[in-house]
Copies of this chain bind each other. A is one copy, B any other.
Amino acid sequence: MTLKELAQALGLSPTTVSRALNGFPEVSEETRKKVRAAAEAYGYRPNMRARSLATGRAMAIGHVIPIQSGHEMVNPVFADFIAGAGEVYSGAGYDMLISIVPDDRQQQAYEDFRTKGSVDGIIVHAPRLGDKRIQLINDVGIPFVVHGRASDSGEAYSWVDMNNFRAFERATKLLLDLGHTRIGLVNGLEDMDFAIRRRAGVEAALRAAGLKVNDACFFSGEMTEHYGHRAMTEMLALPEPPTAVLTSSMIPGIGIRRAIRESGREIGRDISVIIHDDDLSYLPNGREDPLFTATRSSVREAGRAAATMLLDIIATGDHDPRHVLLEADLILGRSTGPVRAMATT
């Protein structure tokens, strides 16, 4: 059923039908009602392609998910982020276009989005150190919002981020307050922006307490269970192993827990662990009885915030950079405790 057919069936012109449905004032209330009823009855829905060709608005937002060539890893927070964003889009009548591309074809993906006219705006995921994408999209000239920040990008741009620095600084302070002085960090890949900020937060807290940073206890890698296990095992083999460990996600946290248990120690008693919890729906840390002490910030909420921001930028046409910095909650679980005198083997 097309507009024209609907118009014909009603004995009206396409113009009038279009206006009636889109709420223009040039049409009488009476006919508007008739048109609405007929549209409903015939199940008429405007063809989006035709409409957006005519209006120039695609009514769609593009998400570009980078895949790191080599590791082939999809960011695990991705599913929840777009679930949050998706809520906002569908509420506003927008579609969500997703493009999963290897690192080296990023630029292509952004340009395609714009020149092919398939989206009105873009969400950029997982910015890295030295990320050129932001400059790229700025050049392309299409509204966008970054999930996270690219520390060293000179450009001004809009972003939604979690306060990684503060979250990890606070978590470290908690450990310091519990008496821990040998603290390890099992971080994400350190060319990712969030990992850099988290490390900085830990280091700041340590320095503030007059402690020096022990490089042997700082790890950087892709956040898998095996990685957490390996890092923890290595640390436990040190002459003076850390008594507390922070890690960037629940998944390596599980590996850390396994390594601790395998060494005959007990988590929360012999060794304290704090994870960052993205509050993923399929990997809940637990509400009333959290597995891990954690800094928690819902990545789904971040998705909602980023989508809302982007739609607003598009609607208002106001491209001044905006920022939302989400603070993480510090959740006390069973994986932390005061330092024990004889934690070493």
Residues of A near any B CB (own CB < 8 A): 43, 45-50, 52-53, 58, 60, 65, 67, 71-76, 78-80, 82-83, 86-87, 90, 95-101, 111-112, 115-118, 223-226, 251, 254, 257-258, 261, 281-284, 286, 291
> How far is B281's CA from A225's CA once the two chains are assembled, in angstroms?
11
Q: 16 A-B pairs, CB-CB below 8 angstroms?
A: A43-B115, A45-B116, A48-B118, A49-B58, A49-B117, A60-B97, A74-B83, A74-B281, A76-B283, A82-B98, A95-B99, A96-B97, A98-B98, A225-B283, A225-B291, A251-B283
A223: chain B residues at CB < 8 Å are 282
Q: What is the minimal beta-carbon distance from A149 to any residue of chain B, in angstroms?
A: 22
A176 CB to closest chain B CB (Å) equals: 28
Instruction: For residue A2, give the distance in angstroms from its CB to the closest CB of chain B.
Output: 10
Q: How many copies does the complex hold?
A: 2
| Cross-chain contact A67 with B83 (CB below 8 angstroms) | yes
A254 CB contacts on chain B under 8 angstroms? 225, 254
Q: Which chain B residue has the least Cβ–Cβ distance from A250?
A: B225
Majority SS of interface residues in chain A?
mixed
A116 nearest CB neighbor, chain B only = B48
Distance, CA A319 to CA B282, complexed state (A): 35
Complexed CA–CA distance, A96 and B65 (Å): 12
- A284 contacts across to B, CB distance below 8 A: 224-226
Q: A78-B79, A83-B100, A90-B100 are in contact. List 18 more A-B contacts (CB 8 A).
A: A45-B111, A47-B53, A48-B117, A60-B97, A67-B83, A74-B79, A75-B79, A76-B79, A82-B98, A82-B100, A86-B100, A87-B100, A90-B99, A95-B99, A225-B283, A225-B284, A226-B286, A257-B258
Rounded to whole Å, the gap between the CB of A122 and the closest CB of chain B is 13
With a CB–CB cut-off of 8 A, which chain B residues contact A73? 281-282
Residue of B nearest to A73 (CB): B281
Docked Cα-Cα span, A116 to B71, in Å, equals: 38
Q: Considering residues A83, A87, A111, which has the most beta carbons from chain B within 10 angstroms of its beta carbon?
A: A83
**Minimum C-beta distance from A15 to chain B (A):** 19
Q: How far is the CA of A283 from the CA of B154 in the complex (A)?
A: 35
Q: Which residues of B contact A99 (CB under 8 A)?
A: 86, 90, 95-96
Closest chain B residue to A87, Cβ basis? B100
